[in-house]
A and B are shown apart, each in its own frame.
Chain A
Amino acid sequence: MLFNSIDFAIFLPVVFILYWFVINKSLRFQNLLIVAASYLFYGWWDYRFLSLIFFSTLVDYSVGLKLKNESKVSRRKVLLWISILVNLGFLGFFKYYNFFLDNFITAFKFLGTDIKANSLNIILPVGISFYTFQTLSYTIDVYRKKLEPTKDLIAFSAFVSFFPQLVAGPIERATHLLPQFYYKRDFDYSNAVDGMRQILWGLFKKIVIADNCAEFANLIFNNSEAYSGSTLLLGAFFFAFQIYGDFSGYSDIAIGTSRLFGFSLMQNFNFPYFSRDIAEFWRRWHISLSTWFRDYLYIPLGGSRGGIWSKVRNTFVIFIVSGFWHGANWTFIVWGVLNAIYFLPLLLAKKNRSNLEVVAKGKILPSIREFTLMMVTFSLTLIAWVFFRANDISHAYSYLLSMFSVTIFSVPMFLGMKKALLVLVIVMCFLLIEWKGRSCQYAIEKLWVDWHVLLRYTIYSIIIFMIVIFNGSEQEFIYFQF
């Protein structure tokens, strides 16, 4: 079920009413309703893959209970590896099987040996990368004794399948989300209103920003050989806002929806395009995944401790794995490598933590230096996004080659320029609102809240009208495919 669909517009109020008005007296029933609603939400797309979630849930629940009673280190390790192998096994099969097979065939062919093997027609289960990492965080934390394993299968099932963040995150840690299923949730007016506001802003980002940018990003990327450098630059710009609006919009809707049910999810995006360096960008972009890799991969590898070689190795490992997590394509791996190259100089110069505060804190405008740094960082990410969006490496290479040709100084030209200009104006207005609210969890969290109710309602109405009128052609969320 898509957040931006009529189905969800009916589903959400029904679940909300049942949750707060019908079974509000029983925590167990509320958790059960969340599980049922989550399975319905997921099954709406393809019910066959519910068995995967159910199996992962059972495996990690059982492993958690076994770990509790097991003190022998070697046996604990075996249990941990069972969980890791099962979860990553599913992920590997559904997401990476064909990729590895194709690359093995190519590699052997290169060495002069022809291998006959047919790739399988595998459907990628929506959100498998997200819930796999979420359940893994539970087993690893239980193994590390950071978390007491749960005996409550319903609460654990609800944690694994919690519908607002099931298919595209934020990837919650068991230490943060699971305990919230243990205690009675009370309805909090301001939290619910805040949740509604965040849903509204998420829908705006997805429908108005992402879907409209997608129209032109797709047009330009799909016919890149026909366009000038300036048009290709514009295409990359549109894609940058498509992916940001799409993914951060989804996160806002997920967080806002959770708030309606009395849950708190972690912030997933923190105005990444206002970053002054790549390290700051990665502290602000897809935070739940970055911190997951930091805690469960980077730090166990040694993190930024050790010699230069170890730092370089760890940085490349985490960025390449992060890239590969996004999809079974070399473009994502190059995207990861590129980000590692951007990041490494900062790490080696020990400047990777120099911009921890929000940019231009307490000021209306950034300084020239801050503005320049933001523009440079954005430009670097823009180049990296070309690899992320391109069909393959050669497409990305030719795209960048044409983009950085002399035609970059020409006037952009393509079909639908008038609408593209309108979308650009909307993106600029959106950026201004984002800038104004950059110290908050989401841009409009505190914007207009002290205004008269009528004015506030008028602004929310305008946002809703824009969502209706500028409803773009794209529907799916990009991150569903990851």
Chain B
Amino acid sequence: MKKFIERLLLFTVSLFFVSIFIDSLLSIKIKEIHEYPGEYEVWNDIYSEELDVDVAVYGSSRAWVHINPNQILDSTKLMCYNFGVDGQNFNIQFLRHKEYIERNRPPKMVILSIDVFSLAKAKDLYGLNQFLPYMLWDWDIYQFTRSYNGFSFLDYVLPLVRYKGKSDLLLKLFSNNEDKVRTNGYLGMEEDWNEDFNIAKNKYENFEIQIDPELVDLLEEFIKELKRQNILLTFVYTPEYIEGQDFVKNREHIFEIYNQLANKYDIPFIDYSNSFLSYNKSLFYNASHLNITGSTMFTQVLISDLKKTFSQINNNQH
């Protein structure tokens, strides 16, 4: 019996160490996957600890398909990076900010792209594969993702366990595209108007978004933190196709929350819901997302408005 237990322990311990080794190898290879929506690329840039950014853009997909950092760089000579994360509310957007700020030089300015879903409660962890190569023994990722249906505790602490059943991911390693999906976190979508609008109309017509009070608190904490660090913050509600603005029943209430926070902390809030861009269907590929033509036009408008806001803020600071 003693021999059996000894051998079993020896095997288990060696298996554990070999697992760590294989886990690392697998994680390194998975980080190199370039596929839509390019989340690994953004996480890699964050964890590279080499980001040198003046303007950071946060938000959901309405951030990373709308705001082109290269246009901002060309017009303002400020280094910009778009940290927008696909399909996520402010919880995961904040995780990105936290991971970025802890490992890299803080930005001078943050553009927070807010929308009706930013403070919405979410049960399932959307796009959970993006966390896999980074989450082992990462306390922050654990803190911000544990409340969702997605991972078990063992996934965060035991090597390889989170790769359980991820053979599809393994297959991608053999057919990986070398070209990056995003440029400084941005991807312009070369798409025409599609069926998403009708689907959303059926799904969200008279839809009431359940606000998560914890997310409102988190947003407030985030504002305070940026204030403490003297980082300028701007709320931006990027263009939204006008006919899609009726879907959410409590839209006004959500805007009230943003307005209250903006007033309380003296944050510029630039709202493009009623801008001329929001009335032009040809600039969108669905009700919430601009296509590349729309995003190029929008970024230009945003730069010009930011320049005005910058001078305002500068004046205020003086």
Q: Indicate if A20 sits at the interface (CB-CB under 8 A).
A: yes
Contact B164–A464 (Cβ < 8 Å): no
Residues of A within 8 A of B160 (CB): 465, 468-469
Contact B167–A422 (Cβ < 8 Å): yes
Cβ of B6 to closest chain A Cβ, rounded Å: 11
Residues of B within 8 A of A473 (CB): 165
* Cα separation A470 to B19 with both chains bound (whole Å): 15
* Cα separation A468 to B154 with both chains bound (whole Å): 13
* Cα separation A460 to B14 with both chains bound (whole Å): 11
| Residue from the list B7, B11, B18, B171 in contact with A422, Cβ < 8 A | B171
A468 and B171 contact, Cβ closer than 8 Å, known pairs A187-B4, A193-B4: no
Q: Tell me what chain B mostly uses at the interface: helix, strand, loop, or mixed.
A: helix
Contact B171–A470 (Cβ < 8 Å): no
Residues of B within 8 A of A471 (CB): 164-165
Contact A461–B171 (Cβ < 8 Å): no
Chain B, residues 212-237, CB within 8 Å of chain A (1/0): the string is 00000000000000000000000000
* Cα separation A462 to B129 with both chains bound (whole Å): 23
Query: Which B residue sits closest to A460, measured CB to CB?
Result: B11
Residues of A within 8 A of B11 (CB): 457, 460
**Which residues of chain B from 148 to 172 have any CB-CB distance to chain A below 8 Å in the complex?**
154, 160-161, 163-168, 170-171
* Cα separation A341 to B133 with both chains bound (whole Å): 55
* Cα separation A470 to B171 with both chains bound (whole Å): 11
Chain B, residues 1-41, CB within 8 Å of chain A (1/0): the string is 10110011001001100110010000000000000000000
* Cα separation A470 to B163 with both chains bound (whole Å): 9
Residues of A within 8 A of B18 (CB): 458, 461
Residues of B within 8 A of A461 (CB): 14-15, 18
Residues of B within 8 A of A189 (CB): 1, 3-4
**Which residues of chain A from 331 to 380 have any CB-CB distance to chain B below 8 Å in the complex?**
none
Contact A419–B164 (Cβ < 8 Å): no
Cβ of A451 to closest chain B Cβ, rounded Å: 14
Q: Indicate if A72 sits at the interface (CB-CB under 8 A).
A: no
A468 and B161 contact, Cβ closer than 8 Å, known pairs A419-B171, A457-B11, A461-B18: yes
Cβ of B155 to closest chain A Cβ, rounded Å: 11
Q: Indicate if A48 sits at the interface (CB-CB under 8 A).
A: no
**Which residues of chain B from 255 to 307 have any CB-CB distance to chain A below 8 Å in the complex?**
none
* Cα separation A187 to B2 with both chains bound (whole Å): 10
Query: Which A residue sits closest to B11, measured CB to CB?
Result: A457
Contact A470–B4 (Cβ < 8 Å): no
Query: Which A residue sits closest to B154, measured CB to CB?
Result: A6
Contact A418–B171 (Cβ < 8 Å): yes
A470 and B167 contact, Cβ closer than 8 Å, known pairs A187-B1, A192-B4, A193-B7: yes
Cβ of A35 to closest chain B Cβ, rounded Å: 23
Contact A468–B164 (Cβ < 8 Å): yes
* Cα separation A465 to B159 with both chains bound (whole Å): 11
20 additional contacts, CB 8 Å, given A187-B1, A189-B4? Answer: A6-B154, A20-B1, A187-B4, A193-B4, A196-B8, A418-B175, A419-B168, A457-B11, A465-B22, A465-B160, A468-B160, A468-B161, A469-B160, A469-B163, A469-B165, A469-B166, A470-B167, A471-B165, A472-B165, A473-B165
Interface residues of B (CB under 8 A from A): 1, 3-4, 7-8, 11, 14-15, 18-19, 22, 154, 160-161, 163-168, 170-171, 175
Interface residues of A (CB under 8 A from B): 6, 20, 187, 189, 192-193, 196, 212, 418-419, 422, 457-458, 460-461, 464-465, 468-473
In the complex, the 10 A-B pairs of residues with the closest C-beta atoms, listed nearest first: A471-B165, A471-B164, A187-B1, A470-B167, A192-B4, A468-B160, A468-B164, A189-B4, A461-B18, A461-B15
- List 22 A–B pairs whose Cβ atoms lie within 8 Å, in order of A's numbering: A6-B154, A189-B1, A189-B4, A192-B4, A193-B4, A193-B7, A419-B167, A419-B171, A422-B167, A457-B11, A457-B14, A457-B15, A460-B11, A461-B18, A468-B160, A468-B164, A469-B163, A469-B166, A469-B167, A470-B165, A471-B165, A473-B165
